[in-house]
Amino acid sequence: MNSVERWKREKHPLDVVDDVYEYAEEGLTFDEIEARAGDGEWERLKWAGMYAHGTHRGYFMMRTKVPGGRLTPEQAEVVGEVADEYATAPPEFGGETQNPVWGDAFLDITTRQDVQMHWIRIEDVPDIWSRYDEVGLTTIQGCGDSARNVLGCPAAGLTDHECFDAQPVVDAVSAFFTGNREYANLPRKFKLTITGCREDCAQSQINDLGLVPARKHRSDGWYYGFHARVGGGLSDGPRMASNLDVFVRPEDAVEFCRAVAQTFEELGNRDNRGVCRMRYLVQQMGPEAFEEAIRDRCDVSLETRGENLTTGYTGDHVGVHDQKQDGLQYVGFNVVAGRMGGAEFAEAARAAKRYGTDNSTVRLATDQNFLVTHVPEERVPDLLAEPFAADYQPNPGPFSRGAVGCTGSEFCNYGIIETKQRVRRWARGLDEHVDTPEDVDVVRMHMSGCSASCAQPQIADIGFRGETVKLDDDGSSTNDEGDTIVEGMDVGLGGSLGTDNAFVDWVETAVPADAVIPALEALLATYSEERTDGERFYEWCRRADNERLRDVMRSVDADVSGGVPADD
């Protein structure tokens, strides 16, 4: 039994929620918490939505779950206010100047439609939870080996792209798993996505379980429901999800998801944390046997597949868009790398109330952007003129529009390189200096600070995976061996989801960070010269031979291929 499984057996992970109140009331330090509960408590605290900061002992990252990414303006305002009040760095870590770009009191929108905050003290958590309870928010099971935030289409109920609004199903499934002790101790994290949208912006292909729209003909007509995909995921051993031969009625979706979780719970690997994810179980058993195991555990009869209604993939909702409700529009704001001030997010929520109808919402998207919905067309200019919107306008350049970045080494225990500032700087610099074809509105550039894939680099046009890179001695050695160790990354090209889905090829590895932009500029210039009509960057990368792509990258006056991973 690995150590995490041992810790979960010693105490049920959800019991840590009561412990948090005790630790806060007594004002315990991290050392005192560890002395009382053991080092396994840091793992169990994830079920409360809390990660201990690796390099800032005494502080937590806190993750707020937002099922389907949908917030009422009141909820969004509370989230922003909590970040502004509690996500503040102490003076010894820089205080208001802790980050040269964002300063202090910021929040991060994640690729799973969550909100993350940093510098949270345990003594403040009960107050945060109390404010969340008042508006129906939670951090419970935002992390840990259980069902995570359920993804959905951020434009659900707004567009003609959907077959039906699946948000009620998202909410029901989320409510079933949140706080449910029976399914809160799985072999690893369990990621779900549920959508009624034809364009699969909820990314069913890379989740453990994805429900996508379908319809089935019976004697009395057509019925809408879901097809199921299982076993998708990224990180090490990425895998696209497999289709099951089932048709799930919306009213049966909770029971179906429960049966999948039970299958994973009973049959999943609990020994090796490296291969405990559900995709490895699906791969090992095969989709047909996995489906049979689900049917054995499901308390409703599952029909066979009907007609698939998914037609493609839409990666973002940036811009001003008409809703299917007459006279209303939604605005997708571009948040480069997903980070913004808590006060700004609260102002966005107040603007949603000010300019939107009574049905207005603030919605988080998987590309780390957010939407304000149900705005009468004549009020959109006023919304865009609000001070909070100055840095998040809905008409960005293609690189800013497609930029995604994980937490990186600034706060994450696993991060090898800094990501947030770099993504913002690179995206805006490329927008300014690189001429892309007029019909190219987005180039997806995703940067993960390690191999864990939180920024989803494998599905990007351009994916980065953080490395420390060892160079030959250049006179500025950073260790006794005479090596120069610098931040760098593996560069992957040609990823996408949708009907032509594929993961990136890692074309060049261990590239020093200061050599990446020259190499990208050369690639993009060659792409602009060689592309066929309408050809996207990822399509051109696939058409070009990898050796050709490497030759273009290495043609620049930069040490693109001069490093090796520092741990080699």
Report the chain's terminal Cα–Cα distance, integer Å: 29
Q: Is 380 a residue whose pLDDT tops 60?
A: yes
pLDDT at 482: 63
pLDDT of residue 426: 98
Average pLDDT over residues 514-542: 97
Residue 275 has pLDDT above 90, yes or no: yes
Decide if pLDDT at 476 tops 70. no
Rounded Cα gap, residues 374 and 352, in angstroms: 8
For the cut 70, the answer to whether the pLDDT of residue 477 exceeds it is no
The pLDDT value recorded for residue 236 is: 84
The structure tokens 């760095």 sit at 89
In terms of C-beta density within 10 A (0-12 exposed, 13-18 middle, 19 or more buried), how is residue 224 classed? middle
Dihedral angle over CA of 369, 372, 373, 379, nearest 10: -140
Cα–Cα dist 356/351, whole Å: 8
Do 67 and 149 touch, CB atoms closer than 8 A?
A: yes
Structure confidence by residue, pLDDT tens digits, 27-46: 999 999 999 999 999 999 99
Res. 369: pLDDT tops 60: yes
What's the pLDDT score for residue 481?
63
Residue 79 to residue 395: CA distance in whole angstroms: 26
Q: Are strands 403-405 and 445-448 parallel, antiparallel or unpaired?
A: parallel
Averaged pLDDT for residues 292-318: 96
Helices (H), 453-531: 513-530
The per-residue pLDDT for 473 is 60
Mean pLDDT value of segment 76-90? 98
Q: DSSP characters for 144-167? A: SSSB-PPB--TTTTT-TTBSS--H
Q: Where are the alpha helices (DSSP H) in 363-459?
A: 380-384, 398-401, 420-433
Residue reference for tokens 């439609």: 113
* pLDDT the model gives residue 55: 78
Question: Counting beta carbons within 10 angstroms of the beta carbon of residue 428, is it exposed (0 to 12), middle (13 to 18) or buried (19 or more)?
Answer: middle
Identify any residues that bridge with 51 across adjacent strands, giving them in sequence order: 61
Q: How far apart are CA 244 and CA 292, in angstroms?
A: 10
Residue-wise pLDDT for 124-158, tens only, equals 999 999 999 999 999 999 999 999 999 999 999 99
User: What is residue 65's DSSP assignment?
Assistant: B
Average pLDDT, the chain: 95
- pLDDT for 1 equals 81
Q: What pLDDT shows up at residue 321?
A: 97
C-alpha to C-alpha distance for 454 and 3, rounded to whole angstroms: 23
Cα–Cα nearest to 515, from 480, 541, 457, 554: 554
Give the CA distances from residue 12 to residues 22, 172, 273, 281, 438, in Å, rounded to whole numbers and listed in that order. 16, 24, 18, 24, 55
pLDDT at residue number 564: 87
Contact 321, 227 (CB under 8 A): no
What values do phi and psi take at 185, rounded to 5?
A: -130, 80
Q: What is the pLDDT of residue 53?
A: 86
Q: Over the stretch 165-222, which tens digit does the pLDDT of each residue have? A: 999 999 999 999 999 999 999 999 999 999 999 999 999 999 999 999 999 999 999 9
Residue 562's pLDDT band, with cuts at 50, 70 and 90, is confident
Tokens 């690639």 appear where? Answer: 523
Strands (E) in 278-398, as ranges, are 307-308, 319-322, 328-333, 339-341, 362-364, 370-376
pLDDT surpassing 70 at residue 257: yes
